[in-house]
Structure 1
Amino acid sequence: MISEPLLINNLFFKDKRGHFCKIAHKEFFIKRKYNVNQFNISYSKTSGTIRGMHLQKKKYKEIKIVTCLRGKIYDVLVDCRKNSKTYKKKYTFKLNNCKKSLIVPEGYAHGFQTLTNDCLVAYLHTNFYKPEYEETINPLKLKINWPLKNIIISKKDKNSNIIL
């Protein structure tokens, strides 16, 4: 298992027709002892949209593999593992157009801001979503320097009272 975020290069092939991207394969998961139990896609139509910061706790903690399929995002992770040397440390990445994927370890809150309109983001999860084990941290109270100031955010994320 990994203890810090890991940015990986995807196999990416481009020609005059478009492109092909191989995000993951069975050997990738076997080697890391990951079981993918859920696959999600989020679509954000407007730049400046913030989704997150979310994580699952206890028996539903999970590893996520995040890939921006279309558009560009500013991805943020925060280590929420209280016994970790990097507790509360923030990690930032820019993801776009399938070229890289981000492995989010267990115990990290994850969120992102869309830097372009029409962003499509895919998530592979090693566990099932259980709302009663989800923790939402208000992304506006984490002292994150979000690149775009015109912010669109859900009520759930904005109204979260959890602050690290």
Structure 2
Amino acid sequence: MSRFTIQPTPLAGVVEINRKVIGDHRGYFTRFFCADELAAAGFDSPIAQINHSYSAKRGTVRGLHFQYPPHAEIKLVSCVRGRVFDVAVDLRAGSPTFLQWHAVELSAERHNSLLVPRGFAHGFQALEDDCELLYLTSTPYAQAAEDGINPTDSRLDIAWPLAITECSDRDRNHPPLTDAFAGITLRALTPELQEQP
């Protein structure tokens, strides 16, 4: 019996994953990750890192972050405290949804995650105080390969639900995208333009 429900989104490869909850008078149990089941949803590599972030203030934005190949990463993002507006932006060169974004509200109560494939930027906004996220990633952090996009870039026009109250200098100072930005080139093995392992 599957412990997950997989919900496709308008961006190929980005899926919302809902964890099934088994509960009784003691509380509940959910399976947070299963390599066998989630490989079919797109997390087809071993977990390389598990990262934890805490955002103290409602309105905080983190992102939009990504890594260039060969360090492009798959992320499975889950909110374990509070609620966040979680965003994936398609940066895949040649993708029919290039520079389009999709957002899902993640929360501890909803027991859901967003799977962000290689070739996407990721960011989120805290919808309440004291939000905590866990990121399962397929590739270790590589400082030389990291980059980002300004979360208020007009070409993306992300509809952040709240006024941005907190944002790092690094994220705020990313220059606007120009027509010269052609995206991230991944080796196409599937219609979703997944990178070869």
When normalised by structure 1's length, the TM-score is 0.91
Counterparts in 2 of 1:81 and 1:150: CA distance versus 1, 3 Å: closer
Q: Tell me what 1:149 maps to.
A: 163
The more displaced of 76-85 and 30-39 is: 30-39
**Identical columns (%):** 37
Mapped partners of 1:14, 1:75: distance in 2: 27
Mapped partners of 1:17, 1:41: distance in 2: 27
Q: Tell me what 1:77 maps to.
A: 88
1:89-147 Cα deviation digits (max 9, x unpaired): 11111000061111001000000000011101000000010011011100011311111
Q: Which runs of no fewer than 5 residues in structure 1 stay unpaired?
A: none
Structure with higher strand content: 1
Q: Tell me what 1:119 maps to.
A: 131
Counting only pairs closer than 5 Å after superposition, residues 1-164 of structure 1 correspond to structure 2 as 3-29=12-38, 31=40, 32-97=43-108, 99-141=111-153, 142-163=156-177
Q: Which runs of no fewer than 5 residues in structure 2 stay unpaired?
A: 1-10, 179-197
Counterparts in 2 of 1:150 and 1:104: CA distance versus 1, 3 Å: closer
Max Rg structure: 2
Mapped partners of 1:160, 1:87: distance in 2: 19
Let me know the Cα RMSD of the aligned residues. 1.9
Mapped partners of 2:89, 2:164: distance in 1: 22
CA contact (8 A) 1:3 1:105 kept: no
SS in 2 for 1:139: coil
CA contact (8 A) 1:51 1:112 kept: yes
Structure with higher helix content: 1
Considering Cα pairs closer than 8 Å and 6+ residues apart, tell me whether 1 or 2 has the greater RCO: 1
Q: Tell me what 2:181 maps to.
A: none
When normalised by structure 2's length, the TM-score is 0.76
